[in-house]
C-alpha cells in the first residue's frame, strides 16, 4: 500500500523522462506561460511592497523585492528566448524542466516567507492585502504551471501549508475563513489540473502517434516495397530538388535511367520469386556502387533511375556508367546455375543538353532507348546528335500519325540465294514509306517510331497483305520472308490478325517465313512461344533475324520453335579480312547446324565475302552483291533472267 502511494507520488512529482514528445510539448507550453507568470508575480509583489513601504523596514520593501525582481526577470527572459528558438535537444529539455521543478519550491518559499514577513508591520487592511496576495498569486501560478504537474503541486503545497498554518495561528476568524477558502479553491484547482494534465498528455500522445503514422505512410508512399529503394514518386521529388539546387548553385546535374537486359526471360524461366530476388540484389549492388551524391531509385519493373549531383564531366560519367554496367553483368548466384543479365544505362546532363528536370529525364530515357537499340549492356550518353535525332523523330512521328497507311507504304523485295547454285530461293519483303512530307523514309527510321507510338500493328497488316498478294505471282517454291515487329507477337489479338491475313491471302503458308528479331525473344518468352506455335501450326517458317546482335541465350533460343537463323551483316562486312568476324560467323554457322536450323547470311556485298562464306559452309546468302531490294515488277524480271541464266 505504502509502496503504491510512494509510486503514485513519484509519478506525480517527476517529469516524464521516457516520453520526449510530452517533454517537448511541456517545454513549449511553459515557455509561453512562465514569462506571464513572472510578470503577474512581480506586479503583485511590488503592489504589496508599495502598501508596506511606509511601515515595513527598507530591506523588506525594497531590497528583497529588487533581488526577487532580478531573479524573476532572468528566468522570464530565459523562457522568452526559448520561444524564439527551435526547441533544444531532448536531454536539454529534460534538464531544463528538472531545474524548474527544483527552483519552484525555492521561489514559492521565498515569496511566501517574504509576504508573511510583511504581515506584522501592517494594519488590518495591509494584513488582508498579504492574505489576498498569497491567495490570488498561488492561483495564477497553478494556472501557469499546469503543464508541469510537479511544479504546480509543489507551489500549491508550499504556499497553502504556510498560509493555513500562519493564518490559523492568528486566531482571527476572517483570516481563518480566508485560509479555508484558499485551501478549498487550491484543492479544486488541483483536481482541474489533474484532469487537464491527463487530457494534455493524451493529446500529445495521440498527436505523436498520428505523426508517426503519417511519417510511416509518407515513407511507404515514397519507397519501393520490394527493393527498399526510393520509388518513382520519390525519384521525381529528388530530381526536382536537385534541379533547383543545381540552378541556384550553377552546378551540373545528370540523370541516368537503367534498364536490365535479359531480365524478362530470367523471370519467365526461373519464376517471379527469383526475378524479385534479382531486383533486390540489383538494388543492393547499385547502392554499394554509388556515393552520397548519387540517388538511386526504382522506377518500376526492371527500370532503375539515378540522380547524379555535383557536376560530373563526360569522362567521369563514362567511367561511372562502365563500372555500373560491368557490376550488373556479374553473375547472380541464386539458383543452382549462376544467372547472368546485363544493364543498359542512358544518361543526360544539365546544363549541357536539358534545361529542366523533365527534359533531363526525357533525354536520359532517349539515351537509354538508343543504347538499347545500338549498344545494349553499356552506357549511352545523350549527345547533340541525339537531340537532332529526337527532333527529327518528332517530325517523323507527326508525319507518321498523319500518313495514309494503305497509300504511302509499300514493300520492296530483296532476293535470298543459294550460295553455290545462285538460285533464288526466296525474297525478303522490306517496307518503304513514301511520305508526301518527308520523301522516301527508311524502315530503320520509321519502324521504331511506329512501334513506340503503337502504330506498328496497323502498319504490319496492309504490308503483309500486299507482300502475300504479290508473292502469289512468283513461281511455285519461291519463298517469301516477312519481318514482324516485337509488338506483332506481343498480344494474342495481333497474332490472330496476322494469321487471318495469311489465311485470306491464298499464298501457301508453307512458303512463308516470318522473321523476328532477338529483341522479340527477350520480351516475354511464353507469349512469343505461343505466337510462334500459332504460326508454325499454319505451316510458316520462323527465322531469327539479326542473329548475334542480342542477348538471347542458347536455352532461350532452344525454347522457341525456330526454323532459320539469319546472321547479321555486321559480322559479314570484310569477313575475309577480319579474323574475329570469320570466327564468329563460323561458330554461328556451326550452331545453326547443331540446332538443325537453316542459315541465311545477310549483307553480302563483295565476291570475297561470298567466297569466305561459302568456305564456311553457308548455304543461303542475301545482299547488295546480288541485288538491292527491288520493286515487285523487278522481282519478276529477276526470276525470268535467272531462268534464262540456268536455261
Ligand atoms: P532486316 O530485316 O535485317 O533487313 C535487312 C536490311 O539490310 C534491309 O534494310 C536491307 O536493305 C539491308 N541490306 C540488305 N543487303 C545489304 C547489304 O549488302 N549491305 C547493306 N549495307 N545493307 C543491306 P532496310 O530495308 O532499310 O530495313 C531495315 C530494317 O527494318 C530491317 O532489317 C527490318 O528489321 C526492318 N524492316 C523492314 N521492313 C519491315 C517490315 O515490313 N516490318 C518490320 N517490322 N520491320 C521491317
Ligand atoms: Mg529481316
Ligand atoms: Mg537482319
Distance 430 CA to ligand 1 centre (A): 6
| Mean pLDDT, the chain cut into blocks of 10 residues (647 residues total) | 77 78 90 93 95 93 96 93 82 91 93 95 92 91 90 92 91 90 89 90 90 87 93 95 93 95 85 92 93 92 94 90 94 84 95 92 95 90 93 92 92 96 96 94 92 90 96 95 91 94 96 88 78 95 86 70 92 89 91 91 95 93 96 96 72
Distance 444 CA to ligand 1 centre (A): 7
Could you tell me the CATH number of the domain that includes residue 365? Answer: 3.30.70.270
Distance 486 CA to ligand 1 centre (A): 15
Q: What is the pLDDT of residue 430?
A: 98
Look up the domain containing 375 and give its range.
Answer: 232-382
Same structural domain, 149 and 14: yes
Q: Is residue 388 part of a domain?
A: no
Q: What is the pLDDT of residue 647?
A: 58
Q: Is ligand 1 within 6 A of the CB of residue 546? A: yes
Q: Is residue 483 part of a domain?
A: yes
Tally Cβ neighbours within 10 Å of residue 418: 13
Q: Is residue 223 part of a domain?
A: no
Same structural domain, 419 and 370: no
β-strands 409-418, 620-621: how paired? antiparallel
Same structural domain, 321 and 442: no
Same structural domain, 241 and 320: yes
Q: What is the pLDDT of residue 435?
A: 95
Cα–Cα distance for residue pair 525/630, rounded to 1 Å: 34
Same structural domain, 141 and 17: yes
Q: Is ligand 1 within 6 A of the CB of residue 483? A: yes
Q: Is residue 70 part of a domain?
A: yes
Query: Which helix (DSSP H) or strand (DSSP E) does residue 118 occupy?
Result: helix 90-118
pLDDT digits (tens, 9 = 90+) for 502-514: 999 999 999 999 9
Q: Is residue 393 part of a domain?
A: no
Mean pLDDT of the chain: 91
* E strands present in 390-537: 409-418, 424-435, 439-441, 479-483, 512-517
Same structural domain, 309 and 444: no
Atom 33 (ligand 1): residue with closest C-alpha? 483
- Of 159, 181, 215, which residue constitutes the final position of a domain? 215
* Residue of 434, 450, 483, 600 best suited for mutating to test ligand 1, as the one with most atoms within 8 Å of CB: 483
In the chain, % of residues over pLDDT 90: 66
The number of the ligand 1 atom at minimal distance from the alpha carbon of 604 is 18
Q: Is residue 462 part of a domain?
A: yes
Same structural domain, 494 and 638: yes
Q: What is the pLDDT of residue 223?
A: 93
Q: What is the pLDDT of residue 9?
A: 74
| Domains in the chain, number | 3
Give per-residue burial for 266-285: e unless 16+ CB within 10 Å, then b: bbbbbeeebbebbbebbbeb
Q: Which residues are catalytic?
A: 302
Q: What is the pLDDT of residue 552?
A: 62
Same structural domain, 374 and 426: no
Same structural domain, 353 and 421: no
Same structural domain, 544 and 424: yes
Answer yes or no: are the C-beta atoms of 426 and 413 closer than 8 Å.
no
Q: Is residue 484 part of a domain?
A: yes
Angle at 488 between CA 482 and CA 493, to 5 degrees: 125
Q: What is the pLDDT of residue 609?
A: 95
Could you tell me the CATH number of the domain that includes residue 570? Answer: 3.20.20.450
pLDDT digits (tens, 9 = 90+) for 377-392: 999 999 999 999 889 9
Can you tell me which residue has the cell 484543492?
A: 187
Amino acid at each position: 500500500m505504502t509502496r503504491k502511494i510512494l509510486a503514485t507520488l513519484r509519478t506525480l512529482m517527476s517529469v516524464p523522462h521516457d516520453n520526449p514528445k510530452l517533454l517537448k510539448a511541456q517545454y513549449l507550453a511553459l515557455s509561453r506561460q512562465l514569462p506571464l507568470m513572472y510578470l503577474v508575480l512581480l506586479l503583485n509583489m511590488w503592489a504589496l511592497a508599495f502598501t508596506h513601504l511606509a511601515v515595513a523596514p527598507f530591506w523588506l520593501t525594497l531590497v528583497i523585492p529588487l533581488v526577487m525582481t532580478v531573479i524573476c526577470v532572468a528566468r522570464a527572459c530565459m523562457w522568452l528566448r526559448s520561444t524564439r528558438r527551435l526547441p533544444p535537444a531532448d536531454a536539454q529539455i529534460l534538464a531544463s524542466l528538472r531545474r524548474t521543478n527544483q527552483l519552484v519550491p525555492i521561489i514559492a518559499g521565498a515569496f511566501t516567507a517574504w509576504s508573511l514577513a510583511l504581515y506584522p508591520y501592517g494594519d488590518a487592511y495591509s494584513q488582508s492585502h498579504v492574505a489576498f496576495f498569497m491567495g490570488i498569486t498561488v492561483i495564477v501560478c497553478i494556472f501557469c504551471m499546469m503543464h508541469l504537474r510537479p511544479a504546480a503541486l509543489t507551489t500549491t503545497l508550499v504556499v497553502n501549508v504556510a498560509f493555513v498554518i500562519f493564518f490559523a495561528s492568528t486566531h482571527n476568524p476572517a483570516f481563518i475563513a480566508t485560509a479555508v477558502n484558499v485551501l478549498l479553491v487550491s484543492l479544486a484547482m488541483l483536481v482541474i489540473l489533474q484532469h487537464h494534465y491527463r487530457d494534455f498528455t493524451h493529446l500529445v500522445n495521440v498527436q505523436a502517434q498520428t505523426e508517426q503514422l503519417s511519417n510511416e505512410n509518407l515513407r511507404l508512399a515514397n519507397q519501393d516495397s520490394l527493393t527498399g529503394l526510393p520509388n518513382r514518386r520519390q525519384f521525381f521529388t529528388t530530381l526536382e530538388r536537385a534541379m533547383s539546387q543545381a540552378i541556384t548553385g550553377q552546378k551540373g546535374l545528370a540523370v541516368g535511367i537503367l534498364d536490365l537486359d535479359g531480365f524478362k526471360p530470367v523471370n519467365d524461366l526461373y519464376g517471379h520469386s527469383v526475378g524479385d530476388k534479382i531486383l533486390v540484389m540489383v538494388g543492393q549492388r547499385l547502392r554499394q556502387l554509388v556515393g552520397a551524391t548519387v540517388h538511386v531509385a526504382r522506377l518500376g519493373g526492371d527500370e532503375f533511375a539515378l540522380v547524379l549531383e555535383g557536376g560530373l564531366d563526360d569522362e567521369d560519367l563514362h567511367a561511372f556508367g562502365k563500372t555500373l554496367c560491368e557490376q550488373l553483368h556479374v553473375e547472380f548466384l541464386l539458383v543452382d546455375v549462376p544467372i547472368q543479365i546485363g544493364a543498359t544505362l542512358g544518361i543526360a546532363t544539365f546544363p549541357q543538353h536539358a534545361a529542366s528536370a523533365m527534359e533531363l529525364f526525357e533525354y536520359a530515357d532517349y539515351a537509354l532507348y538508343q543504347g538499347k537499340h545500338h549498344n545494349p549492356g553499356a552506357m549511352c550518353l545523350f549527345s547533340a546528335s541525339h537531340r537532332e535525332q529526337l527532333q527529327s523523330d518528332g517530325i517523323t512521328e507527326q508525319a507518321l500519325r498523319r500518313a495514309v497507311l494503305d497509300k504511302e507504304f509499300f514493300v520492296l523485295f530483296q532476293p535470298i540465294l543459294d550460295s553455290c547454285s545462285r538460285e533464288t530461293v526466296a525474297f525478303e519483303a522490306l517496307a518503304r514509306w513514301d511520305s508526301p512530307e518527308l520523301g522516301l523514309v527508311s524502315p530503320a527510321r520509321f519502324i521504331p517510331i511506329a512501334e513506340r507510338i503503337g502504330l506498328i500493328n496497323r502498319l504490319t497488316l496492309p504490308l503483309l497483305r500486299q507482300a502475300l498478294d504479290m508473292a502469289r505471282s512468283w513461281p511455285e517454291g519461291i519463298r517469301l520472308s516477312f519481318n514482324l515487329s516485337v509488338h506483332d507477337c506481343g498480344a494474342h489479338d495481333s497474332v490472330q490478325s496476322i494469321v487471318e491475313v495469311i489465311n485470306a491471302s491464298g499464298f501457301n503458308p508453307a512458303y512463308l517465313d516470318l522473321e523476328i528479331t532477338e529483341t522479340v525473344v527477350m520480351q516475354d518468352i511464353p507469349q512469343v512461344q505461343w505466337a510462334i506455335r500459332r504460326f508454325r501450326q499454319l505451316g510458316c517458317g520462323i527465322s531469327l533475324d539479326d542473329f548475334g546482335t542480342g542477348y538471347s541465350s542458347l536455352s532461350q533460343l532452344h525454347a522457341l520453335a525456330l526454323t532459320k537463323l539469319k546472321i547479321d551483316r555486321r559480322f559479314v562486312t570484310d569477313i575475309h579480312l577480319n579474323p574475329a568476324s570469320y570466327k564468329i560467323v563460323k561458330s554461328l554457322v556451326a550452331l545453326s547446324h547443331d540446332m538443325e536450323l537453316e542459315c541465311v547470311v545477310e549483307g553480302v556485298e563483295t565476291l570475297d565475302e561470298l567466297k569466305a562464306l561459302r568456305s564456311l559452309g553457308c548455304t543461303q546468302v542475301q545482299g547488295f552483291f546480288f541485288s538491292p531490294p527491288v520493286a515487285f515488277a523487278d522481282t519478276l524480271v529477276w526470276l525470268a533472267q535467272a531462268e534464262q541464266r540456268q536455261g
